[in-house]
Amino acid sequence: MVTFLAGGTGTPKLLDGADRVFDSAETTVVANTGDDVELGGHLVCPDVDTVLFNEGGVLDTETWWGVDGDTTATHEELHRLADAAGLDSGPRYLNDEAQTAGRDIARWRRFSGVAEFMRIGDRDRAVHVTRTSLLDEGHSLTEATRTLAAAFDLEIGLLPMSDDPVATIVHTSEGPMHFQEFWVHRRAEPEVLDVEFRGSETAEPTPAVLDALDDPVVVGPSNPVTSLGPMLAMDAFADALASTRVVAVSPFVEDEVFSGPAADLMAGVGRDPSTAGVADAYPFADAFVLDADDGTDLDRPVVRTDTEIGGPDDAERVARAAKRALEAVD
């Protein structure tokens, strides 16, 4: 049995070849939900869905989000209506207490669907409608995810990190904003001052997640701040990691990222934007997989390989390195 912790890019890439190394039926993936937003009344779970679509064989692997070849008729019509009506586009928060009555979805991640600021494909939207409807019917996010996983014929187990809402808020020189506003709408341009996981003080990992964390854990290459941060902000999650076998694959080669805003976010929370900073952020990790070109000296066992993942063969190589690292700390 093995458990992978996932954001929306690095671990899904690794999973592409991990099935050649670890039995899919014995693999669980715990996905971050700090990126989640409610958009036009529908709950969008980007990291859960990237794993869902990738494992279901429908992911757009150019972007690493959304369904390959999806149409965007509804999204375009939402923008046409907003333009025709002279309504402002861009993120429109629904964070007034009065607008949050009803479904228990936290108010700081609620956005209007007027001229929605994230491009939602039509097939992708069907997943959000199904998920939100199941929540409305009284099911938990874990149950809704299980139902969707069955619909996409997933062989692995897929779990959201929590059934409770946690919202990643980036505090910037231009004020606080939800991670999706920072990343999608502002293209990570505002200077990062701090990152907060709103709701994490009361959120709990689910029993299914805590069970999964009893097994050896692979932290795939992930953004330590915005993908692992929401998980680690839940005390019970961090405690569980501290008492299980954990191997982490660095998303850096020394101080270079492969993609995305991890370096700026690390610096913004006062961490070194490098593999050394990742190791400091992961005191629970028993061993690391680093790139062959990464000379960082760590105080824990290291397995080195080429960690660039461009397809299933690369993913298999990195997964084998993670397995070797797990065996080294057995």
Ligand X SMILES: O=c1nc2n(C[C@H](O)[C@H](O)[C@H](O)CO)c3cc(O)ccc3cc-2c(=O)[nH]1
Ligand Y SMILES: C[C@H](OP(=O)(O)OP(=O)(O)OC[C@H]1O[C@@H](n2cnc3c(=O)[nH]c(N)nc32)[C@H](O)[C@@H]1O)C(=O)O
Q: What is the DSSP letter of 121?
A: -
**Using CA atoms, how far apart are residues 121 and 98, in angstroms rounded to an integer?**
30
Closest CA to 8 of 228, 266, 202, 248: 228
Provide the minimum distance between the beta carbon of 32 and ligand Y in the complex, in angstroms, as a whole number.
7
Out of 46, 113, 224, 268, the only residue in the binding site for ligand X (CB under 6 A) is 46
**Angle, nearest 10°, between helix axes 10-18 and 312-328?**
90
Number of residues forming the site for ligand X (CB under 6 A) = 16
Q: Tell the smallest beta-carbon distance from residue 297 to ligand X (Å).
A: 30
With CB under 5 A as the contact rule, the residue among 3, 4, 8, 67 that binds Mg ion is 8
Contact with ligand Y (CB under 6 A): which of 54, 206, 227, 305? 227
Three-class secondary structure of residue 62 per DSSP: coil
Distance from chain centroid for Cα 263: 16
Burial class (CB in 10 A: 0-12, 13-18, 19+), 79: middle
Closest CA relative to residue 295, chosen from 238, 229, 250, 248: 250
Part in contact with ligand X (CB under 6 A); list of ranges 84-92, 116-124, 131-139, 268-276:
116-124
Q: Judge contact between 199 and 166, C-beta under 8 A.
A: yes
Is 119 annotated among the ligand-binding residues?
yes
d(CA 131, CA 136) in angstroms, rounded, equals 9
Distance in angstroms (rounded) separating the CA atoms of residues 189 and 13: 26
Segment contacting ligand X by CB under 6 A, of 119-127, 228-236, 272-280, 291-299: 119-127
| Sole binder of ligand X in the list 6, 44, 144, 228 (CB under 6 A) | 44
Q: Which of 120, 134 has the CB closer to ligand Y?
A: 120
Q: How far is the CB of 189 from ligand X (least distance, A)?
A: 13
User: Which amino acid type is present at position 115?
Assistant: A
End-to-end CA distance of the chain, in Å? Answer: 14
Q: Is residue 120 close enough to count as binding ligand X by CB under 6 A?
A: yes
Residues 6 or more apart whose Cβ sits within 8 Å of residue 9: 50, 64, 259, 260
Q: Is 146 annotated as a binding residue?
A: no
**Which residue sits closest to ligand X, CB atoms considered?**
8
- Among ligand X, Mg ion, ligand Y, none, partner that 264 touches (CB below 5 to 8 angstroms by kind): none
Beta bridge partners of 198: 167
Given candidates 195, 203, 217, 309, which one binds ligand Y under the rule CB under 6 A?
309
Q: Which 34-53 positions form the footprint of ligand Y (CB under 6 A)?
A: 47
Among 56, 261, 268, 277, binds ligand Y (CB under 6 A): 261
Question: Which CB atom, from 11 or from 172, has the smaller least distance to ligand Y?
Answer: 11
In the bound complex, what is the minimum distance in angstroms from residue 128's beta carbon to ligand X? 8
Both tokens of 37, joined, read 């937003």
> Closest distance between Mg ion and the C-beta of residue 170, in Å?
13
Helix (H) or strand (E) holding 124: helix 122-136
47 near ligand X, rule: CB under 6 A: yes
Using the minimum distance from each CB to ligand X, give the nearer residue, 20 or 123.
123
Residues in contact with Mg ion by CB under 5 A are: 7-8, 35, 47, 227
Residues in contact with ligand X by CB under 6 A are: 7-8, 35, 44, 46-47, 49, 65-66, 118-120, 124, 180, 183-184
